[in-house]
Structures are given as structure tokens and as C-alpha cells.
Structure 1
Amino acid sequence: MKIVSFSSVDICTESFGLEENPALLLIMGAMSSMIWWEDEFCEKLANKGFFVIRYDNRDTGKSTCYAPGHPEYTFEDLADDAIQVLDAYEIDKAIIMGMSMGGMLTQMIALRHAERVNGIVLLSSMYFAEGAENLPYSSDEVNAFFEKMAKEEPPKNIDDMVELSIRQWHITSKSKRPYDEERIRKLNYLDIEHSVRYESRINHSIAQVTGDELGRIAEIKAPALIIHGTDDVVIPFIHGEMLNKTIPTAQLISVDGAGHELNPKDYDYIIESMYVMFNDID
């Protein structure tokens, strides 16, 4: 692991593969540390010829955390953190891959720092541009779960934290993929063990967007691969279709029967799609 430090901020990073290979920067979704980019996925990407870097967003993992309820950053700051990571690794340009909230940040990076981007991959990412207000969002069951959770007393111990996360996973990752509950339980324990202030992750839900990049994605010039599960109940598949329709360089890859997840059963399909899209990038 490598800590990237700048302006009183520490970002925890980890790399896989050969530095001379094309760089691929992975940005995870809300309230999740980099361990959710599982080792197997990162190693498969490295074996395919990418130099892979994953990192903890602020308020997750071993990166800088703030008091719960008081994020001292905007989403623009989170997007710019990615460039600090590239600078620390002395990488001029990279493919940026973001999942869910990480996909939102990736859209912003593609416009805020176009000169640093070789391509983007948007996995289970939300559409915010023209017409977004007319799109469906999370299912009633997902919304009801989070409304109920907000009224409950927060878990007091690690086991209860994990069990709450398992309950959430059963709601938000509904799909035709088999439920490997023990894998998810293990990842949750690892996430907590990896975190310096696990309760701070809630700050992602209240940080603000202050710029206009998310409404200007039609201006993205970098090659864009859109990957979206057809059974996603958190960010419905139509968001992937709209991203594909709006970004001029986009190609949409549907993952039939997948939900809001990065399931090991889909690793090879996703990685091969990425390789086909970006294999000619130096």
C-alpha cells in the first residue's frame, strides 16, 4: 500500500501489475473502501495487461476521515483526489473506472481533467444530464430500507454492523446472481478492519456537488465504456442507456441479470470488454 498525502489529506492506495502497462484507476462507490474492488478482480485486470490502482475515497478505509455528519469536502474535491493519486504514481494519463458514486466522480474527472484521461468505464453509474428528472430511481423496497435504517439506532459493535450491511446487501443487490452471503460477510469484516473511522462513511450521503460537469457529459471526448446490470434496483438500467445515448464516444455493455454489484461471475466478461475497448492505449 502507498499513502498519497497533499493539503492535509491522506489517500490510501494500492497497485497491481507492471508500472509500464496502461494505467487503470479504480474508484469505488459510496460508503465503500477500495477492498470492494476485490483482489481477484484487480489481479485479473493486471494479468490482462493493465497497471491497476485502487484507493480509498475520503471517509473510507485508511484515507482521511472527518467527523460523521461533517464532510469537509465537495464531490469536486473527491474527483480531484484521483488526479493527486495519478500524480503520486507519476502517471500522465489513465483509464478511470468508477462504480456507482465512483462512476459519478469518473464523469466529473473526464471533464475537469480531460487531459489526464485515456478512457472511462462507468459501472452501475447514474445519469444526471438533461432529462434525468424523468428517470426512475431506486426501487420502493430500497427506499423503504434506507428510511427505516435512518430511524434505527446505529449498531454498537462490529458483528451488528456487519449484519446490518448484510441486510442492506440483500435489498440493494437483488439480481439473478446467486447470493454468496459468506463472501459479502467476509468483505464487510475486512472493510471494517481496514477502516480508521468506519462511521464516517455516512458523509458520502451529505457531501455536495458544486460544479456543472454532470450536466455536460455530452462534451466528454474520451472513449467511454458503460457497463450496467439489467436487474439493478438501485440505479435502473435505463441510466446506463441514457449515458450511452448522451456521451458521444460511449459503448454500452449490458450484464444480463446482474444487479447493483460487481459479481465474480461477471469478472471475465467485464474485463474482456474493457480489454477490447482499450487494448490499443499505450
Structure 2
Amino acid sequence: MTLRIVSSEHVELHTQAFGDPTHPPVLLVMGMMASMLWWPQGLCEALARSGRYVIRYDQRDTGLSTNCPPGEPNYGMLDLAEDVFLIADAYGFDALHLVGMSMGGMVVQRAALAHPERVLSLCLVGTSPLGLDGLPPMDAAYAEHCETGESVNWSDPDAALDYVSRDVAAVASTRHPHDAAAAREFVRGDIARARNFASATNHFVLVDGDDTQFRHVRELKMPVLAIHGSSDPIFPIGHAEALVAAVNGAKLLRVEGGGHDLHPADWAAITEAIVAHTG
């Protein structure tokens, strides 16, 4: 494993790489309020053992990367998309494979639409396709849970721990057992590691800003793979099915019983699919 800080005039991003840098590069982009640790180290190592050079990183306002005061982000979604190529440049790659989960999937779609010549392939995990209408809504019970997040004091580590732990349970696989104690300890560590965990709530208010680069998911020309849990309460499986129907040649790995998570019992199938897609 190699740790590296990637920086520009405006941002500092903490990154970590696994494997041989001569192997095909795969950049992992995580979702809302989630540091790079939410890409499990075991999954990263499995991808590296399978012949991929894997990079994960803390997006702005998560982990050890640049953060803004809560409620005052000085960046938008397109800035997050450009961060992808800041990292690519720092590691010396003209083009690379992008894997994005949840909000990270939306970030990599924007990145691929803005600079298609720099994206070898796109893997979208538990996310929603940009520009498509008529997608199924969030699960009602999960939407009710989200509403309680508005009253959380995110600057209180214990309050944040309680809410995020409940959130992890609410999105967990329905096929495999959820280890609540292990999940809580993981969340505790993620909160403690962050420069300012409350800053991660800035992700809730991000906008595209200058939308001159924003186009439609149907314009994606590189190989696209969707990996999606059949029990995802945030983005029901219909989001992935709509994506595959809209993008020519796109494929879908349906994770039976999978939630909005990366359960260890599913890592082998996920690794196999990503390796095949990025070959």
C-alpha cells in the first residue's frame, strides 16, 4: 500500500494505492459523506491481487482531504469530477478505469462525460444514471430514516455515530447477516479519522454550478458496467436496469439481496466482474 497526498492550488486529496503501478489503473470513488475507507481494504487488495492497480481517496470534506465549514462548500459536483483527473495526473495516467459508488457513481459519470478520452471504462455501483426520468423512488422506510438526519448534531461524534450506524443497518444486505458491532466500530474510526466529520454534510447541498459540461448518460461511449444490489433501498434496482437500457452495450451484475453496501460475502463476485470489465 502507498499513501500519497495529491494537491493543487485549491484542494488537497489523500489517496492510497494498492498493487503494481504497471497494471491497469482503477480509481475508486466513494459516495456521499463517505471517506475512502468505505472501499473496504480487503476488496481493494483482492482487486490488486487480480492484476489491477487500485487507487482510493478521500473526496473533499471527507477523511483527511480538504474540508470546508459545514454548510459552506466552495465546490460543486463538477469540481469533484475534475478531482478524478487531478489524481490521474499525479499518478501519471493519461486515462484510467473509473469505479464509482452511490454519489461517487454520479461523480464518475460527470467525469466520463466531460473527458471521455481519459476514461477507459466506467463501473457504476449502487448509483443512479444521470439525465433519465421515471426512475423508481427511494424506499419509503429509508426515506423516513433520512428525515431524522436533519435533526442530528453532526458536530457531536456520538450523535453522528448513532445516526450513521443506523444508516448502515438500514442499507445492509438482506441476504447476508449484518454485523452491527463491527459496523459501529468502523464508523467510530471513520469519524475519529476525519478532519471535521460535520463538513461531510456539505455533500447534501452540492450543485453542478457551470453546467456547460453536463450532458446525458446516453452519450457514454466507453464500456459501462452496473453493479447493483437487488434490495438497494436508496436507488432501487430499476435505476441500474434503466442505465443498462439507455447505454449501448452496458452490462449489469445483479447482486441478489445486496443493499446499498459492499458486503464481504459479495466481494468475490464484485472483484471478478470489475476485473473482467477492466481487462
TM-score range, shorter chain: over 0.9
Match runs of 1:58-137 below 5 Å: 58-130=60-132, 132=133, 134-137=134-137
Alpha carbons 2:59, 2:65 under 8 Å: kept: yes
Amino acid at match of 1:266: D
Aligned to 2:179: 180
Superposition deviation, residue 8 in structure 1: 2.5
Amino acid at match of 2:82: D
Q: Under a length normalisation based on structure 1, what TM-score does the superposition of the two structures give?
A: 0.93
Could you tell which deviates more after superposition, 82-91 or 267-276? Answer: 267-276
Could you tell which deviates more after superposition, 161-170 or 260-269? Answer: 161-170
Alpha carbons 2:129, 2:217 under 8 Å: kept: no
RMSD: 1.5
CA distance in 1, matches of 2:228, 2:213: 21
Question: Secondary structure of 2:268's match?
Answer: helix
Question: Secondary structure of 2:202's match?
Answer: helix
> How has the CA–CA distance of structure 1 residues 169 and 65 changed in structure 2, closer, same or farther, with 3 Å as cutoff?
same
Alpha carbons 1:107, 1:214 under 8 Å: kept: no
Alpha carbons 1:128, 1:214 under 8 Å: kept: no
Q: Under a length normalisation based on structure 2, what TM-score does the superposition of the two structures give?
A: 0.94
Residues 176-229 of structure 1 deviation map (CA, whole Å, 9 limit, x = unaligned): 221111221122122112210110000001010232666511111111111111
Amino acid at match of 2:193: H
Aligned to 1:34: 36
Could you tell which deviates more after superposition, 154-163 or 77-86? Answer: 154-163
CA distance in 1, matches of 2:47, 2:173: 26
**Where does the alignment leave 5 or more consecutive residues of structure 2 unmatched?**
none
Aligned to 1:254: 254
Aligned to 2:245: 245
Superposition deviation, residue 171 in structure 1: 2.0
**Where does the alignment leave 5 or more consecutive residues of structure 1 unmatched?**
none
Alpha carbons 2:106, 2:127 under 8 Å: kept: yes
Alpha carbons 1:104, 1:214 under 8 Å: kept: no
Superposition deviation, residue 87 in structure 1: 0.4
CA distance in 1, matches of 2:71, 2:91: 32
- The alignment covers a number of residue pairs equal to 276
CA distance in 2, matches of 1:172, 1:91: 34
CA distance in 1, matches of 2:110, 2:15: 20
Amino acid at match of 1:39: Q
Question: Secondary structure of 2:62's match?
Answer: coil
Alpha carbons 1:129, 1:214 under 8 Å: kept: no
